Amino acid sequence: NAGVMQNPRHLVRRRGQEARLRCSPMKGHSHVYWYRQLPEEGLKFMVYLQKENIIDESGMPKERFSAEFPKEGPSILRIQQVVRGDSAAYFCASSPPLSGANVLTFGAGSRLTVL
């Protein structure tokens, strides 16, 4: 009965490289959310996805960031041409259908360091 699984837990990239963060939701959960936590700050909403659909991406930076949740496999948060300001913890959360955010379960986070 695994929870929300995120990998890698730690990722180091040089400026200009690409970062891919993966999230497998809890069993039975079809809604995935991505949040970003900058150092010494609270989490900030980035994007909300259901299988094969982006429902709300109002928190995503306009450039370089994209997210997907394919029919098969984990959700992917992709950051192209990373910059130092992208260094942060990226949290994935999932919930069952029709529950809104009442029962969000968070993963352990992926910590991205950009050198």
Binding footprint of other proteins on the chain (CB under 8 A):
31, 33, 35, 41-45, 48, 55-56, 59, 89, 91, 93, 100-102, 104-109, 111
Structural element, H or E, at residue 95: strand 88-95
**Distance of closest approach, residue 56 Cβ to other proteins, in angstroms:** 6
Q: Which is nearer to other proteins, 2 or 14 (CB)?
A: 2
**Distance of closest approach, residue 80 Cβ to other proteins, in angstroms:** 24
**Distance of closest approach, residue 110 Cβ to other proteins, in angstroms:** 10
Q: Which is nearer to other proteins, 46 or 82 (CB)?
A: 46
**Distance of closest approach, residue 4 Cβ to other proteins, in angstroms:** 10
Does the N-terminal peptide bond of residue 39 adopt cis geometry, omega within 30 degrees of 0? no
Q: Which is nearer to other proteins, 16 or 61 (CB)?
A: 61
Nearest-angstrom CA–CA distance, 38 and 2? 27
Q: Which is nearer to other proteins, 33 or 69 (CB)?
A: 33
Is 105 within 8 Å of 94 (Cβ atoms)? yes
Q: How many beta carbons lie within 10 A of that of residue 81, not counting itself?
A: 13
Residue 86: DSSP 8-state: G
The residue with tokens 């949290």 is: 91
